[in-house]
A = this chain, B = another copy of it.
Amino acid sequence: MPTITGHPERHAPTLEAVAEAAGVSRATVSRVVNGSPSVRGEVVEVVQKAIAELGYVPNRAARSLASSRTHSIALLVPEDVSRFFGDPYFASFTGGLDRRLADTEYVLNLVVARDDPGRKAVRYVRGGNVDGAIVVSHHRGHDFLRQLEGSVPIVYGGRPDVALSSAPYFVDVDNESGGYLATRHLIESGRTRIASIAGPDDMSAALDRVAGFRRALQEAGLPDDAIVHANFTASGGAEAMRTLLARQPDLDAIFSASDLMATGALTALASRGISVPGDIAIVGYDDSPAATWGEVGLTTVRQPSELMGATAVDVLLQLLGGVADVPHENIVPTELVIRNSA
Contact = CB atoms under 8 A, between A and B. Distances in A.
A260 to B, nearest CB: 7
A110 B75 contact: yes
Given A60-B129, A107-B109, A85 B91 contact: yes
A98 B110 contact: yes
Contacts of A57: 123, 126-128
A271 to B, nearest CB: 8
Nearest to A289: B86
Given A293-B234, A295-B267, A322-B4, A82 B62 contact: no
A319 interface: yes
Interface in A149-182: 150-153
Given A95-B85, A109-B108, A60 B127 contact: yes
Interface in A1-25: 1, 3-5, 7, 9, 12
A54 interface: no
Given A128-B59, A295-B267, A320-B5, A95 B110 contact: no
B5 A322 contact: yes
A124 B60 CA distance: 10
A337 to B, nearest CB: 15
A238 to B, nearest CB: 8
Interface of A: 1, 3-5, 7, 9, 12, 57-62, 64-65, 68-70, 72, 75, 80-86, 88, 90-92, 94-96, 98-99, 102, 107-112, 114-115, 120, 123-124, 126-129, 150-153, 234-235, 260, 263, 267, 289-290, 293-295, 306, 319-320, 322
By Cβ-Cβ distance, the 10 closest A-B pairs, closest first, are A82-B95, A85-B91, A57-B127, A82-B92, A85-B85, A81-B95, A61-B65, A61-B64, A108-B110, A86-B91
Given A4-B322, A60-B129, A85-B95, 12 more contacts: A7-B153, A12-B128, A58-B127, A59-B128, A61-B65, A81-B94, A81-B95, A85-B85, A102-B115, A107-B109, A108-B109, A234-B294
